[in-house]
Amino acid sequence: MARLGPREPGTRRRALVTPEGVDLGVTLADAGTRAGAFFLDVAIIVVAGIVISLVALFGLGGLGLDRAEPIAVVWTILVFFLRNAYFLAFEAGRGARTPGKRIMGLRVASRDGSGLAIDQVIARNLMREIEVFLPLSMLVARAGTGVADTMTTALGAVWALGFALFPLFNRDRMRIGDLLAGTWVVEAPKRALAEDLSKQAGAGTYRFTPEQLDAYGIAELHKLEEVLRGDNDAALATVAEAIGRKIGLERADYQPRPFLTAYYAELRAHLERKLLLGKRRASKFDAT
């Protein structure tokens, strides 16, 4: 599991150090970009809600007013499901981001460097109901001219504003949902399709035994790919030394990049063969 390194003062970059000592730093999303992504998602939800409403109205016209109640129930359920399942479904997916976040170049990540767990996604999105949708529903439902209506509207406005401004008053730009779920939103800019690392120079130069390849799993394969795609000689040397020590090599008489490229290629092929046999090792902490 990765650990957080020291913050870089005055920047949104955060160090995320792997057990091998490699910094896989992330850059936190700024408040404006997060707000833009959220409004894009809300726009998508509203459009989908309008479509559902039009379908319900056409259904009501075809079936008659005597069938209005069951159609209204179905409409309410669909709109509720849309609002609540939209964020859960997309953020629990492989990309860990909604369409709005994808457009703005953002994604959700776990603050401890591990994979994003489903309970984290549920926690951060259930809090959105309290942070955003509940106060907004108060504003809409109680808008009026009476004293009670005015007080309720004012309470809803203060409530929504307080939660909306919360990310501006903490260094990691987290909303309450992120704080409780152990997540943050980081930049994930689009990248051009990279070449296959297993075909780079160095692959095939070294040979490893099945026992040496069993030392790591899928998570470490992905981290190794990030290091190889980077241009940090110190990180390459650190990871090469850590892997060499882990798999029992006595001497570090190898060049870091060719050695890591060869290990990556063989580890990838080794894990793919195991997947074909129904064996999946998520990380080095899983039993083989």
- Domain locations along the chain: 13-126+168-187, 197-274
Average pLDDT of the residues of the chain:
75
The pLDDT value given to residue 193: 37
Tell me the pLDDT band of 41, cut-offs 50, 70 and 90.
very high
pLDDT tens for 255-269 read 888 888 888 888 888
Single out the residue of 160, 274, 255, 154 nearest to residue 217, CA to CA.
274
The pLDDT value given to residue 101: 93
The pLDDT value given to residue 64: 57
CB 255 within 8 A of CB 193: no
The pLDDT value given to residue 103: 93
With the C-alpha atoms ordered 88, 90, 94, 100, is the resulting torsion angle positive or negative? negative
pLDDT tens for 42-85 read 999 889 888 877 876 776 666 555 666 666 677 777 777 787 78
pLDDT tens for 168-202 read 788 888 888 899 999 989 888 665 434 455 555 44
Q: How far is it, in rounded angstroms, from Cα 242 to Cα 239? A: 5
The pLDDT value given to residue 175: 87
CB 131 within 8 A of CB 176: yes
